[in-house]
Every structure is written in structure tokens, then in C-alpha cells.
Amino acid sequence: MKQALTLSLASLLSVAALPANAQNYRVAHFTPQTSTTAHFDQKFAQLVTDATGGKTTFEFFWGGALGSGAEIVHLLTGGAIKIGGSAPVYYPSELPISGLTNSLPTLFDDVETAMRVQRRLTTGNPLFLKEASSIGIYPLVQHGLSASHLMCTKPVSTVTDLSGLRVRTYGYFLPAAMSAIGMTPINMGTTEMYEGLERGMIDCVAVSYGTASSYKIAEVAKYWSDINLGALSGPVLYASQTTYFNDWDDTMRAIVNEASSKVFEEEISYLSTFDEEALEKAHEAGVELIHFTEQAKVNEMIPNMLDLWEERQVSTGMPADVAAEVVSAVRAELGK
């Protein structure tokens, strides 16, 4: 398979010369190297390196070594770095539109839907494109987050069990959803989850089984619930607009785009089985999977997320017609 991918990319070079100058890109990345996002960003980088005959290489700095998740986009827009991986949800002021698919719990039933909707909107919808362009970034590789569940330090199987438990959240919308079902949201970064559980700062995290496995959550939270909080689109590997449109020629952009499409499809396929494998590893580590018996009740308690997003954006200054158009575009994608 890898040989076929490499040949496909290499075929692009038959119509134009390789990029003239060698370039090594320092990539600021907010996840640890063990994450699924990191795995596919590295595959993307290797495909590009192979297709350019080794002229373009990438040096990754993992786990916020060159900037935290909330700093990387600012570093891109300020010109300090040319490529960086972060999550749109960390930038509610700069990326409220792009962050929609990355922030609304219960919106998507499965990760493939979330990823494909995000990719179509961020590469084809004028409002999404304008937002990214306005701050000088371009999405290279887009990822997904499988359905979130709860990993806790105590068993939870009913809404009553959730009452008052401190749960790690981020942004605005996940806290709103967790509050609606009686939990106490505490915003913290992804890399802080393990320590938060270990030190008793939080009782639960709301992530996918695969993400929990990547961050070794089984070591500090032994009770994993099958409550379903919906899938999301995921982090994004960005380039600065200057890099994508000015530094790279048509040949290089074609190589990058082809590599991005390949890893996008591979990630969708991978995520379809990743959670099952993560659960097996968790079980081996002593985790107990707890069946949540009141899923329907939870679904009723959580507010309509698209309505809440629209209300939130208008209240913070987004023109009402723009917010309504974004929501309409998402509903059209979902057929709702």
C-alpha cells in the first residue's frame, strides 16, 4: 500500500520539476507523539518527503514543545512558524466557524461523518474559507475524534451518578453539555488530563476510547463508561497562508494535497477499528467498562447544539445572518 501511495504522488512530478530548494520544516504540534493525530501527520510528512525526493523534510516538536495548543495558530499567523498542529476549538475568537465541527457534542453520530462534513466545509464553503484566510492559515491535514465517552475514577451508570462529578472539558459547548447533565466542567488542556485525574483535580474525562488509550488514561481512571457524547472533527495540521500559496508552487501544492487526501481516507478506515483495540488494551490494564443505562435521558437533557452555537456567536458579535448561514450549511450537510 505504501509503495502504491508513493508512486501515486511521484506521478505528479512527471509534469513539473521537483521543488528547487531543499527545505526542512519545524512543525509545532500540541499532541504527544503517541496520539492518532500525530501518527497520521507523520504519515503525511513522509509522503511529502518521498514525493519530493527527500528535498522537503519535517521535524516535529511534540506535546507543545514549540507552543501550546492555544498558541500554535498565533505563532503561524505571526510568522514564527510555518506549519503547526492544533485544534480549532482552542481559538473561539479567531476560528468560531471552523471550530463548530470540532466543538459540538452529540452533533455527529460517527467520526466519518464528522470528518467528511468538516473537510467539505473547510475546503469549499466561502464562510469557512474566509475565516481561515483572514488570519493567514491553511488546513493541510484534517483529523477526527471518535465518539466521546466518560473515563472516571468511579463507576457511573445513571444520570444520578454523574451529579457533581468534575469532568475535564474545553471550550464553551462541551461545558454547557456537561452542566446540562449535572456534571461540573473544568476546562484544561488535553495534555493535562492524566495529571488532573492522578491528582484528583477531576473525576472524569470526556474523550474517545482511542484518545484515552493514547494518553494512558487507563493508568489513572479505571472505570470507562459507554455513554455516547457524539463524535467530532479533530485537530488540524495547518500551514501559514504564505507558505501554502507563496512559498509552494503548483507542483508542491499538488503533492501536499494528494498526501493529505491519502492520509484522510486512511485515518477514517483506521478509526473504525481503533476504539475496539483501545478497549481491549484498557481491559488488559484493569479497566472496567460500565454500561450507562440512561442514554435516552442524557440525549433529552443536552440542549440542541447547533441552536446553542448560533445563539452564542450572535451574542459575541457575529452577524446574525452569518451565524444562520453557517448553521444552515451544517444542517444541509447532515440532512437535518
Architecture of the domain whose range is 4-8+24-145+233-274: 3-Layer(aba) Sandwich (3.40)
Same fold, 4-8+24-145+233-274 and 149-231+276-334: yes
pTM of the full structure: 0.84
Torsion angle of alpha carbons 175, 180, 183, 188, nearest 10°? 0
The hierarchical CATH code for the domain 149-231+276-334 is 3.40.190.170
261-312, pLDDT tens digit by residue?
999 999 999 998 888 899 999 999 999 999 999 999 999 999 999 999 999 9
40-64, pLDDT tens digit by residue?
999 999 999 999 999 999 999 999 9
Interval 78-95 mean pLDDT: 95
What pLDDT is attached to residue 46? 98
Torsion angle of alpha carbons 273, 1, 85, 50, nearest 10°? 170
At residue 229's C-alpha, the angle toward residues 225 and 230, to 5°, is 125
SS3 (DSSP) at 16: coil
The identity of residue 78, as a single letter, is G
Phi-psi region of 107 (alpha: psi -120 to 50; beta: other; left: phi over 0): alpha
- Per the listing, cell 468538516 goes with 118
Closest CA to 35 of 270, 226, 205: 270
Contacts for 93 with CB less than 8 Å, ≥ 6 apart: none
Domain range list for the chain: 4-8+24-145+233-274, 149-231+276-334
Q: How many CB atoms lie within 10 A of CB 114?
A: 26
Percent of the chain with pLDDT over 70: 93
Counts of helices then strands in the chain (DSSP H, E): 14, 11
